[in-house]
Amino acid sequence: MNPNDSSTPAIVAENLTKVYGSGNTEVVAMKDVSLRVARGEVIALLGPSGAGKSTLLTAIGLINPPTAGRIHIGGELVMDADQAKVDLREFRRRHLGFVFQKANLIPFLSAVENVQVALEINDASPRAAHKRAMELLDYLGVADRAQNLPDALSGGQQQRVAVARALANEPSLILADEPTAALDSHRGRQVMELFAKVAHERGAAVLVVTHDQRSLDVFDRTFQMEDGCLKP
């Protein structure tokens, strides 16, 4: 099944559970969570610290496998409990985009190179990657800072470069973990609107973990997580 097929849901998570430790030290971080997200949909995950939001996000992002449950991305079964059904790194490269609270830009690469590197590791030629990276920076309004190192960019500009990197390979799913936490409210809203724009214009599903209650109107749906359980 083609993960980029627009008729299939972007994410289907079934009965995801994540348990850390065992015996007396056992901690259930996520309990029987099921979630279905369509393409082009922008979803917010809300909840207090320790509720399991990031655990769910990293499980779906294939960087922290669940203890039980199944994950389908683009209709393809990718995780069955903690068993990977695909080459996870390859799958992340082709189908997922990540944005975090910190921009996590590579400090020795310029803004455009930070985007370009994501394209080049997905086998784009340097010239094509550069062209595409510049287009994305332009789309996100930071083309004029393309040659600057991350140190020379403001927090908002860095976050926009990080979004551009996440979009670089046209992923079917973008996962964002508190992407506006380091930004002022104006910049925070801009980033949230950007996600909505990307989702609606490019058909990518966007799952955002956030504490920011002021931009909730941007999202198509919101979910609340409490004690490892997901509530609509």
Partner 1 sequence: MNLAVRDIRHNLGRFALTTVGIGLLLMIVMGMGGIYRGLIYEATLLVDQVGADLWVVQGSTRGPFAEVSRIPANLEDRVRAVPGVARARRFVSHTIQREHRGQPLRMVVQGLSWPEDKGDWVQLIAGHPLRQAHYEMIADRSLGLPLGEKLKLGKDVYEVVGLTKGMVGTGGDGLCFFTVSDAEAIQFDVPGEATRLERAARLARLENLDLGRVTPLLSERVVGPASGLPALALPQVSAVLVTLRDGADQARVSATLATWPDVTVYSTQQQKDLLLSGMVDKSKRQLGLFRALLIIISTIIMALILYTLTLDKIHDIALLKLIGARNSVIIGLILQQALFMGALGYGLAWWLGQYAFPRFPRLVVIETPDLLMLGGIVLAISVLASLLGIWKAMSVEPNKVLS
Residue numbers at the binding site for partner 1 (CB under 8 A): 54, 58, 63-64, 89-94, 98, 100, 104, 106-109, 113, 116-118, 120-122, 126, 129, 149, 165, 177
- Rounded to an integer, what distance in angstroms lies between the CA atom of residue 9 and that of residue 162? 25
Cα maximum dimension of the chain: 56
Compare residues 119 and 140 and give the one whose CB is closer to partner 1: 119
The whole-angstrom separation of Cα 17 and Cα 69 is 6
Smallest gap, in angstroms, from Cβ of residue 106 to partner 1? Answer: 5
**Smallest separation, CB 149 to partner 1 (Å):** 8
Residue 44: beta bridge partners?
208, 222
User: Would you say 17 or 190 has its CB closer to partner 1?
Assistant: 17
CB of 178 to partner 1, least distance (A): 11
- Residue 134 beta carbon to partner 1: minimum distance, rounded to whole angstroms: 14
**Whose Cβ is closer to partner 1: residue 91's or residue 223's?**
91
Q: Which residue from 25, 155, 165, 5 is spatially nearest to 92, judged by alpha carbons?
A: 165
At residue 63, what is the residue type?
I
Residue that is written with structure tokens 């994950």 in the block:
71
- Compare residues 120 and 220 and give the one whose CB is closer to partner 1: 120
Lookup: tokens for 205: 């599903």
- CB 63, min distance to partner 1, A: 5
Amino acid letter at 133? Answer: A
Q: How far apart are CA 139 and CA 169, in angstroms?
A: 15
Q: With respect to partner 1, which residue has the nearer C-beta, 159 or 190? A: 159
